[in-house]
Each structure stands twice: as C-alpha cells, then as structure tokens.
Structure 1
Amino acid sequence: MAKRPVEKYDFKAFGEAIKAARTGRKESRKQVSDEMYISPRYLANIENKGQHPSLQIFFELMLRYNISVDQFLLDTPTQKDTKRRQLDALLDDMSDNGIRIVTATAKEISEVEKEDK
C-alpha cells in the first residue's frame, strides 16, 4: 500500500515557545532534561530545530510551561494563548495582596490604553 502524502507539522514555533519559557524560568537545559528523563540534545533539537517530540514529551512540556497548543495546532486558536496561560499560573500562586496589586496595575494599563485610542 502506498504511503499517504501528508506534510509533516512544523514544530519550530512550539520549540521556540518551550525555549522562551524555559529560559524565562532560568532553568538549564540539563536541569529540565534530568527532571524529564530525556537527553539534553533531544530537548535542544526540539527547541532549536523543531524536532517532533514524542506525544508524552510534548504533553509534559506543554504542562510544565503552561503552553497553549491551540495557538500552534488550530487555525483559529482559542482565547487563551500561552502568555495568558502563563499569567494564570502566576496568579494561581499569588496571595490576595498580590492579586490586588496586579488588578490595580491592570486597571491602570486599561485606562491608559483607552486614552491612547
């Protein structure tokens, strides 16, 4: 039977998002590789060359870094992209006092943006 001609999905954007999230957390490639039981080279290839990760590693990286796969896999992504998911994760760990500060800051930013329009 002939192989069905299917264009392989390009994982470069996903790899770039993983690398940005990892470096944003100041995690070394070795640290992440050790914790996930994968080789540093495998992680480097995912981040830099868009290597297709196994489904399990894809899932673990997505959860570890709060990456929204919708923005990479769907033509019309859902409303919560990676940045919003990462912000949600930060907010989940924040105290009520911290939430009040972030809320006040967000309100001020919203007002300034309305004035600029």
Structure 2
Amino acid sequence: MAKRPVPRYDFKAFGAAIKAARLERKESRKKVCDEMYLSPRYLANIENKGQHPSLQIFFELMLRYNISVDQFLLERPTGKNTQRRQLDALLDGINDNGLRIVTATAKEIVQIEQAQPNGQEDA
C-alpha cells in the first residue's frame, strides 16, 4: 500500500520561540539539555533548523517556557498566546502588593488605548 502524502509541518517558528524564551531566561543550551536529558545538537536543530521534536520533548519545551501551542498549530488561535502565558507565569510569583500595582498599570494602559483611535501612539 502506498504512503499517503502528508505535508510536513514547519517547526521553524516553534524553534525560534523556544530559543527566544531560553535566551530571555538566560539559560544555556547545555543547562537545558542536561536537565531534560537531551543532546545539545538535538535542541540546536529544533531551535535553528525547525527539526521536528518528539511529542514528549515538544510538550516539555512548551511547559518549560510557557509557550502557547495554539499560535503554532491553529490557523486561528483560541487560547492565550505565548506572551500572555509567560505574563501569567510571572504574575504567579508576585505578592498582593505587586498585583495591585500591575492591575492599576493594566487599567491605565486600557484607558489610554481606548482613548487613542485605531491604536495610534502619541508622538
């Protein structure tokens, strides 16, 4: 029986997001590979060449860096994007005083954005 032709998903954007998140957290590739029991070349190929990770490694990297799978696999993402997931992770580590400050700041940003037509910024 012939194999069904299936276009391969391009993982380059996923790899770039993993690399950016790893660098933002100032983690070396060696540190990540040691903790995840991966070959540095395997992670480098995922990050730089879009190599298809195993499902297990894909899942572990998504969780480690709070990356949203929706933005990579769905045409119209339904959940939170990566930036919102990473912000949620940061907010989890903030105490009540910090949350009040962040909330007040977010409310002010919303008011400013609503006052500016078409998302224009002040000059």
TM-score, normalising length: structure 1: 0.96
Measure how far apart 1:79 and its partner are. Answer: 3.5
Higher deviation after alignment, 61-70 or 72-81: 72-81
Higher relative contact order (CA 8 A, sep 6+): 1
Separation in 2 of the partners of 1:11 and 1:49? 8
- Looking at structure 1, the residues matched to 72 and 51 of structure 2 have their Cα atoms a distance apart, in angstroms, of 14
Query: What percentage of residue pairs aligned between the two structures are identical?
Result: 79
| Residue of structure 2 equivalent to 1:4 | 4
- Please name the residue that 1:43 is paired with: 43
Aligned-pair CA distance for 1:108 = 1.4
The number of residue pairs the alignment matches comes to: 117
1:66 aligned to 2:27? no
Shift of 1:114: 1.7
Q: Secondary structure of the residue that 1:53 maps to in structure 2?
A: coil
1:39 positional shift: 1.0
Gaps of 5+ in 2: 118-123
Q: Counterparts in 2 of 1:66-105, with a 5 A limit?
A: 66-105=66-105
Distance 2:57 2:91 in 1: 26
| CA distance in structure 2 between the aligned counterparts of 1:57 and 1:33, rounded to whole angstroms | 11
- 1:102-113 equivalence runs, <5 A: 102-113=102-113
Deviations 1:43-95 (A, max 9, x none): 11101100000111000000000111011111111131111111111111111
Residue segments in structure 1 that go unaligned for 5+ positions in a row: none
Mapped partners of 2:28, 2:100: distance in 1? 33
Q: Which runs of 4+ in 1 moved over 4 A?
A: none
8 Å Cα contact 2:70/2:79 also seen in 1: no
Give the match's secondary structure for 1:8.
coil
Written as runs of structure 1 = structure 2, the 5 A alignment for 1:7-26 is 7-26=7-26
Q: Aligned partners of 1:36, 1:18: CA distance in 2, in Å?
A: 14
* Alignment TM-score, normalising by the size of structure 2: 0.91
